[in-house]
């Protein structure tokens, strides 16, 4: 890893990371602000959920209803908004850190310095991972502030389950960004890398949702890393978040390692 390069890349991309982090923080605070009003009508909302097709309820991660703060945010935020937000971030930043630099010729200037390809790739992977960490820390902190500001002693809130949801979400996007990084490491064209990463990562999210809708296509879930991400189960106190986190982390590390090795060995149009 090249620390001067890491600092420079963090400086370049910090504004974009901050935009995603504060956008995520805004949405999670909005969820905490809305819940006291929602909680007064949980009975009617839960009856509405029961009347909906089971597949739709499962697809949008609202199996637990709105009986608790964790159940509410697991469906309204962690089940849909956060995955889409971090999918876009992972795809855009991984492409910007690797394929765009090759496509625009800036990688040739970088490699003309006493820096090896492997050092460059490891540094770029570290920038991407740090960006995800920044977003998740800001999101987690904003949620805890939201609890203090808007919930307090009014409603029960299981802080441990909330933290588990954030850890598993972070691990999910370590895996997703690892996949996007690998694709960007083996492609020279920015548009192709962006399109391929988007097709695979967003496609896996779509396959997971489709697999939840009907038992006939449930098998689609199991070719997607999103099958390991079940915020509604965590909110209900079920599932195995530790196992899911470890598997997702292993996928992410394997993809990042493959991306670094591929980039260091392939021919580059420099």
Has residue 54 been placed in a domain? yes
**Mean pLDDT confidence for 106-134:** 87
Name the residue among 31, 41, 148 with its Cα closest to residue 78. Answer: 31
Residue 270 lies in a domain: no
8 Å CB contact between 186 and 263 = yes
User: Is the confidence at residue 21, as pLDDT, over 70?
Assistant: yes
Mean pLDDT on 37-54: 56
218 secondary structure, DSSP code:
G
Q: Please, are residues 97 and 128 in contact by the beta-carbon 8 Å criterion?
A: yes
- What is the largest distance, in Å, between two alpha-carbon atoms of the chain? 65
Query: What span, in angstroms and rounded, lies between the C-alpha atoms of 162 and 146?
Result: 12
d(CA 78, CA 85): 10
Domain tally for the chain? 1
Question: Residue 107 sits in which domain range?
Answer: 3-265
Does 73 reside within a domain? yes
- pTM of model > 0.85: yes
CA distance 68 to 147: 13
The 10s digit of each residue's pLDDT in 157-203 is 888 889 999 999 999 999 999 999 999 999 888 899 999 999 999 99
> Does residue 157 lie within any of the structural domains?
yes
């Amino acid at each position: 890893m090249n620390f001067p390069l890491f600092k420079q890349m963090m400086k370049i991309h910090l504004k974009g990371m901050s935009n995603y982090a504060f956008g995520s923080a805004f949405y999670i605070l909005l969820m905490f602000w809305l819940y006291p009003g929602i909680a007064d009508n949980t009975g009617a909302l839960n009856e509405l959920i029961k009347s909906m097709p089971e597949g739709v309820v499962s697809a949008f991660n609202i199996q637990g209803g709105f009986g608790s703060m964790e159940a509410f945010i697991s469906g309204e935020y962690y089940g849909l908004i956060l995955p889409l937000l971090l999918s876009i971030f992972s795809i855009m930043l991984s492409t910007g850190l690797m394929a765009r630099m090759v496509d625009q010729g800036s990688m040739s200037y970088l490699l003309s310095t006493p820096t090896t390809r492997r050092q460059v790739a490891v540094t770029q992977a570290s920038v991407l991972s740090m960006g995800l960490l920044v977003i998740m820390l800001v999101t987690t902190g904003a949620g805890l502030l939201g609890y203090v500001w808007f919930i307090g002693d009014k409603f029960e809130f299981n802080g441990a389950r909330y933290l588990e949801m954030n850890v598993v979400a972070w691990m999910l996007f370590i895996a997703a960004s690892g996949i996007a990084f690998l694709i960007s490491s083996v492609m020279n064209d920015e548009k192709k890398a962006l399109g391929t990463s988007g097709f695979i990562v967003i496609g896996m999210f779509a396959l997971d949702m489709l697999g939840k809708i009907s038992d006939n296509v449930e098998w689609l879930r199991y070719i997607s890393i999103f099958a390991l991400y079940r915020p509604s189960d965590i909110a209900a106190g079920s599932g195995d978040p530790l196992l899911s986190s470890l598997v997702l982390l292993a996928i992410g590390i394997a993809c990042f390692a493959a991306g670094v090795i591929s980039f260091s060995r392939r021919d580059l149009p420099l």
